[in-house]
Structure 1
Amino acid sequence: MQWDKLYSAKRTGSEHKISSSPETIRNSFVRDYDRIIFSSAFRRLQNKTQVFPLPGPVFVHNRLTHSLEVASVGRSLGKAVGDILAAKYNKGSEDFQEFYKYELPSVIAAGCLAHDIGNPPFGHSGEDAIRIFFRELEGDAKKRFDDRLSENQKRDFMFFEGNANAVRTLTHNFNENSEGGFRLTYSTLASIVKYPTDSLNGFNKQNLFTKKSGFFDSEVGVYKTIAESLGIPSLSETGNVFVRHPFVYLVEAADDICYRIIDFEDAHRLHIISIDTIKELFLSFFDNETGYDAREKVEETFNKINDDNQKIQFLRAKLINLLIGRVSNIFIEKEMDLLAGKVSKPIIDYLPENELKLVRSIDEYSYANIYNHRSVVEIEIAGYNVIGALLKEFFNAVLSPKSSKSQKLLQLISKQFVITGDESKLYNDIQSIVDFVAGMTDLFAVDMYRKITGMSFPQIK
């Protein structure tokens, strides 16, 4: 891969327009950011669980606030890396200099903003609920599912992946006449595909690129077009497996930095983790630093702050800034391997041994005390029940669209999700109901679940 080929102002749905926007206020890549942040799919993230249940008397992060913070960190990473690349290749074209010095931060920020846009309600349990529903099909439903869908299509549902659904959400036109979905640039779209393979070749944890899947069967053609345009090599002559675009590592790193630190901040607000635990873990990153980042200096400022929440915010800011510097330097050190598609781990996994050990300590503590906290487990169970029940009702309606109940259920699905009732298009019809359910907010899903199961009676408004 080549740095001067890895960016493009081409957009899905309008590939014939290949030049950057001549406007100086909003270039092509800033437009990507704006299109995402003003979209209803992004706004719905405000009522989708990040880790802890929503809403509650204590503010905790939801998918939207998390995505905004990841975008902020991603912009800084893009700026740090872009400046170095622009300086290193200062004899590059004017377009090259312009992109890496000024526009790469917008691409990474937009990618970060969109990285969770395909996630269903109820956190990761929402993904599991969709997978389990389709894996546990029985009888005639299973037979028709197996007979009408290809192996790759079946795995799209049985191994449903929020990352792949993000690509679909951003590129599919649903029931609109205009093609290309959000019409984002190839650069931004490529930056969110952490696992550049389809469902059939994905979920092989031996390879970072195939650990999960990055696009559904319906979006294979879209990604192939992007890969060909940006010079992203294929790893398979027969299957849809590609190397990662280098920008992916920056989007991933921004997410890796944020969720580890922010989940601790939320857990402290909910009195799950003590300030002493956070202090010891976070301050340890500064043991070998000097100057203003020396541990004694950071600890001195920390001790002068009166409010515990402010203390955590101070440590959070210091640690994020430290890790931005670390990740930027590692990215540049790995430049040749990144371009060769040989970086086999997330960038954060290349931290110095002492710091990587601290990251692992955070992961272990989070798993034991945050992700298995009672409130988190309760909402995960609720997610299984709610999403499973909704899929059961709508899937049965798709299989028997002419029954009286099915016709009424299908009326509840937004017109943007097309249900054909054509047996030969069963894959598309199933995608439509999964699109509908995955796009729901937590509260909307619960409300619809209660109404269609008769747990609550809808009121005429």
Structure 2
Amino acid sequence: MKMNWDTLLNEKRFKKSSSDKLEFDNRNSFSSDYSRIIFSSSFRRLQDKTQVFPLKRGDFVRTRLTHSLEVSHISSSIGKAIEYKKQLKDDKISSILAVAGLIHDIGNPPFGHFGEFVIQKFFKEFFEKNNLNLSQRQENDLIYFDGNVQTFRILKKLQYLGNEFGYNLTYGTLATIIKYPKNSVEGNKKNSLNIEEKKFGYFLSEDLDYKKINDELGLNNNRHPLTYLLEASDDIAYCVADIEDGIQKKLITLEDIKEQINKYKDRSDEKNLNSLIALEENINKYELENIQIKKSKGNRLYEKIIIQKIKIYLQSQMINNTISTFLENENDILNGIFKRELLDVSSYKEIKNLFKNLAENKIFNSKERVEIDLLGYQVIDTLLNIFVSSALEILDKGKEASIYSKGIYSLISDNYKLIYEEYEMKNAKTKEDKIYNTLKLCTDFISGMTDTFALELYKKLKVY
């Protein structure tokens, strides 16, 4: 069944708002979602979760907070253009995309994507050593832990505001941040040609919540169409921004970029080749325009200026191309048969891949980044070992558990424990459900930490 925009832009919430709308409040419900997020503690914590270089401070270093603001701006701009083209005057699309940009990384653990890897590895080895009789889906939820999935859990449940509804965001907003509308058994097919199956989108603990959203919006277990625009906005924001940070850290040079352009030109189809040639021509133009800066101020300032110009040029071009690609494929998207990223069918696929690969080779494999990742591994792995063993001992022995385990359990944030004790454990029907909930509690707490908090707690607990 074809999706339709009237249903997709549903402003319904899980719980009806308890406050009356004020006389001069002309916001739609999605703009109200934006307000709920931007004043929240979960959003503020993103300022201490660094995008590329965890634990590094400086006025140029992007945090998850600044990245999220950039994504919010880009996605909202794209939404406004879509509304203009479709002659829509209610601002619903741009409002959803603005808030989705803010929240898309809220579930990321400390130390970024490497933190995800450490959590995944910990539970893979944990279940190999311990036969707890959990279902395949319960184990997969943890073995394939993903920040995007944790985002949905935080938004729907973990931000305790007096009930189990979390931020109580609209269905439309929540659906937009679910990139992979599959559970952990159906998804996680890395080699699938269907983008929706490569990872998963919701834990077993939020299974009924997802189903309610899916049914209410008529998604038919497909992505919300705006998810494609959010995903493209994320790529547009970081693929050049990571390179800008790399140049700031002297890990990448303009020559590296030009060398990669020449390599990609040899393998690109015509539409991508034209984009690469245009990029090359613009770089040459920016270099000529700023040659005096190079002579008078040196190469470092010169390269910083050039990469900023490249970023401005490419982001504007990629935004424009994303809009046209979405509109060209809108019918297939609404019919649920479009299964690729928008940028991967655009004329900027190779440029996106070029910058991603350059960041991978020059930044994420750099000595500085590897040292940070090794520290992150020790921090997260150690914390998981301590909290999981203690929480399981309390589950097993109750009041007879050791003083140490009780002390460790007391360190877990009260709001996480409240959701765990008052809602999830009271609904647990089996021993396995209780174990699953307990493991999730530990993961909620540790993945919700900022980089600095995780490191400081690690140092304190290592002393004992």
TM-score for the superposition, normalised by structure 2: 0.84
Shift of 1:45: 0.9
Q: Could you report, residue by residue, the CA deviation over 1:316-338 in whole angstroms, capped at 9, with x for unpaired residues?
A: 11211111000000000001111
Change (3 A) 1:360 1:24: same
The AA in structure 1 aligned to 2:104 is: H
Count how many residue pairs are aligned between Structure 1 and Structure 2: 425
The AA in structure 1 aligned to 2:434 is: K
Q: Separation in 2 of the partners of 1:54 and 1:385? A: 14
Change (3 A) 1:426 1:24: same
Shift of 1:192: 0.8
1:446 to 433, 455, 461: 455
Report if aligned partners of 2:111, 2:376 keep a CA contact under 8 Å in 1: yes
2:124 to 135, 139, 147: 135
Q: Separation in 2 of the partners of 1:20 and 1:356? A: 44
Change (3 A) 1:450 1:296: closer
Report if aligned partners of 2:119, 2:143 keep a CA contact under 8 Å in 1: yes
TM-score for the superposition, normalised by structure 1: 0.85
Report the secondary structure of 1:4's partner residue.
helix
Shift of 1:57: 4.6
Report if aligned partners of 1:285, 1:319 keep a CA contact under 8 Å in 2: no
1:350 to 339, 345, 351: 345
Q: Separation in 1 of the partners of 2:125 and 2:276? A: 49
Q: Could you report, residue by residue, the CA deviation over 1:192-233 in whole angstroms, capped at 9, with x for unpaired residues?
A: 111011111110131211110111001111111111111101
Greater Cα offset, 273-282 or 154-163: 273-282
Identity, % of aligned positions:
38
- Confirm whether residue 193 of structure 1 aligns to residue 178 of structure 2: yes
Aligned to 1:108: 97
Q: Separation in 2 of the partners of 1:30 and 1:305? A: 44
Within-5 A mapping of 1:216-227 = 216-227=203-214
Q: Separation in 1 of the partners of 2:86 and 2:361? A: 40
Within-5 A mapping of 1:347-386 = 347-352=342-347, 355-386=348-379
Shift of 1:305: 6.5
Shift of 1:67: 0.8
Q: Could you report, residue by residue, the CA deviation over 1:60-93 in whole angstroms, capped at 9, with x for unpaired residues?
A: 111111111111111111111121122xxxxxxx
Report if aligned partners of 1:78, 1:108 keep a CA contact under 8 Å in 2: yes
Report the secondary structure of 1:26's partner residue.
coil
Aligned to 2:15: 13
Report if aligned partners of 1:282, 1:315 keep a CA contact under 8 Å in 2: no
Structure 2 residue runs of 5 or longer lacking an equivalent are 263-273, 295-300, 395-400
More helix as a share of residues: 2
Change (3 A) 1:244 1:20: farther
Q: Separation in 2 of the partners of 1:396 and 1:59? A: 40
Aligned to 1:273: 252
Aligned to 2:297: none
Greater Cα offset, 258-267 or 301-310: 301-310
Q: Separation in 1 of the partners of 2:32 and 2:161? A: 20
Structure 1 residue runs of 5 or longer lacking an equivalent are 87-96, 234-241, 456-461
Aligned to 2:114: 125
Report the secondary structure of 2:163's partner residue.
coil
Q: Separation in 2 of the partners of 1:187 and 1:21? A: 23
Aligned to 1:72: 73
Q: Separation in 2 of the partners of 1:435 and 1:110? A: 22
Report the secondary structure of 1:119's partner residue.
coil
Shift of 1:116: 0.6
Report if aligned partners of 1:286, 1:294 keep a CA contact under 8 Å in 2: no
Shift of 1:393: 0.7
Change (3 A) 1:305 1:330: farther
Shift of 1:310: 3.1
Q: Separation in 2 of the partners of 1:396 and 1:45? A: 28
Shift of 1:358: 3.0
Q: Separation in 1 of the partners of 2:335 and 2:58? A: 49
Change (3 A) 1:58 1:110: closer
Q: Separation in 2 of the partners of 1:376 and 1:165? A: 24
Aligned to 1:392: 385
The AA in structure 1 aligned to 2:217 is: L
- Confirm whether residue 243 of structure 1 aligns to residue 230 of structure 2: no
Q: Separation in 1 of the partners of 2:54 and 2:376? A: 11
Aligned-residue RMSD, C-alpha: 2.7
Within-5 A mapping of 1:176-191 = 176-191=161-176
1:325 to 320, 326, 331: 320
Within-5 A mapping of 1:208-219 = 208-219=195-206
Q: Separation in 1 of the partners of 2:186 and 2:22? A: 37
The AA in structure 2 aligned to 1:218 is: S
Q: Separation in 2 of the partners of 1:285 and 1:22? A: 50
Shift of 1:361: 2.3
Report the secondary structure of 2:8's partner residue.
coil
Shift of 1:297: 6.4
